[in-house]
Amino acid sequence: MKGNKKILLVALLVLLITVVFSTYAIYRTSQTANGSIRAAKWNVTIGSQAQQTANFAFGVGDITWTTHTGKNNTIAPGDSGTITIPVDADGSEVDVLLTATIGDVTGLPAGMTATVTSGTNGVQTIQYNATEGQMEANVVITIAWSGTVDDESGKDGTDIAKQNQTLSIPVTLTARQKLASD
């Protein structure tokens, strides 16, 4: 008798559990997926160093002369030449924007100019190119003293005043990724 009651109790329990769980049965499912990416490579060397911004202070000795009449590491009217800063962006996977600015030049005679002649207004772009050697560029600063050696009008008291002064051309060159908004 007691045994039967136990069996009945267990059977009722099983029935109860079955009914309850089937009543509240829930369809469950999930979907998971993953998207991966990596950042485009940035590999820019200004001069000889991997840097983003480089500050230079060029002197007469850094100029590659086109015309040079000044002797003993000096400059004279009619002289002209260039300073070249090599930029190597090979391996980079983005366009690179270079901006070169010339600061306050000391020892610059009147009639003499120092300007960034590469790019436009000191700004130039190195386009992305996967081919080795195709993402190299030079930033060029041109120094020119107007007039000629025998041009007396080009030499005045201002020039004389600049004698014995050391020429220093500060240049800041910045490289950054070119954006669509640039």
Please name which of 103, 177, 87, 104 lies closest in space to residue 139, comparing C-alpha atoms: 87
Residues in contact with 101: Cβ distance below 8 Å, sequence separation at least 6, in sequence order:
116, 122, 171, 172
- Contact footprint for other proteins (CB under 8 A): 1, 4-5, 7-8, 11-12, 14-15, 18, 22-43, 50, 52, 92-95, 128, 177, 179-181
Looking at the Cβ atoms of 1 and 133, the one nearer to other proteins is 1
Q: Calculate Rg over the CA atoms of the chain.
A: 37
Looking at the Cβ atoms of 2 and 71, the one nearer to other proteins is 2
In angstroms, give the least distance from the CB of 180 to other proteins.
7
Looking at the Cβ atoms of 33 and 72, the one nearer to other proteins is 33
* Block residue for tokens 């100029």: 63
In angstroms, give the least distance from the CB of 173 to other proteins.
15
In angstroms, give the least distance from the CB of 9 to other proteins.
10
Looking at the Cβ atoms of 6 and 73, the one nearer to other proteins is 6
Neighbours of 85 (CB within 10 A): 21
Cα separation of 172 and 175, whole Å? Answer: 10
